Amino acid sequence: GENVEQHPSTLSVQEGDSAVIKCTYSDSASNYFPWYKQELGKGPQLIIDIRSNVGEKKDQRIAVTLNKTAKHFSLHITETQPEDSAVYFCAAPAPGGGYNKLIFGAGTRLAVHP
């Protein structure tokens, strides 16, 4: 089945710096890759996603890039702010599951220091 690996597990940056989180997936048929932000005590919040027919997508300070050949995708956060501190999860759909179940990476705990 689909396997999603996420690195790093923790990331500490200074306010204003950039942060990059990387994920790899195993199923070449996967075609949808969301990123979720989870704050303490809250549910995962969909912050950006990308489909396999594009290589990059931006939304203000966040962007996602996709390399289908290498089967990896990355989240880029620029001009980080303390409120960006959270756990970030990448995900990919499980093979054969259509657009149903998502397989999540293990998560990256991002700390942005003022």
Partner 1 sequence: AAGVIQSPRHLIKEKRETATLKCYPIPRHDTVYWYQQGPGQDPQFLISFYEKMQSDKGSIPDRFSAQQFSDYHSELNMSSLELGDSALYFCASSRPGVYEQYFGPGTRLTVT
Q: What is the binding site for partner 1 (CB under 8 A)?
A: 32, 34, 36, 42-46, 49, 51, 89, 93-94, 97-107
Query: Residue 7 has what DSSP assignment?
Result: E
Min dist CB 4 to partner 1, Å, is 9
Q: Which is nearer to partner 1, 12 or 45 (CB)?
A: 45
Q: How does strand 10-14 pair with strand 108-113?
A: parallel
State the DSSP code for 105: P
Residue 25 or 89: the one with the smaller Cβ distance to partner 1 is 89
Is the Cβ of residue 5 or residue 17 nearer to partner 1 in the bound state?
A: 5
Give least dist CB 89 to partner 1, A: 6
For the bound state, the minimum distance from the C-beta of residue 55 to partner 1, rounded and expressed in Å, comes to 18
CA dihedral 77, 78, 82, 86 (to 10 degrees): 0
**Contact (CB, 8 A) for 114 and 12:** no
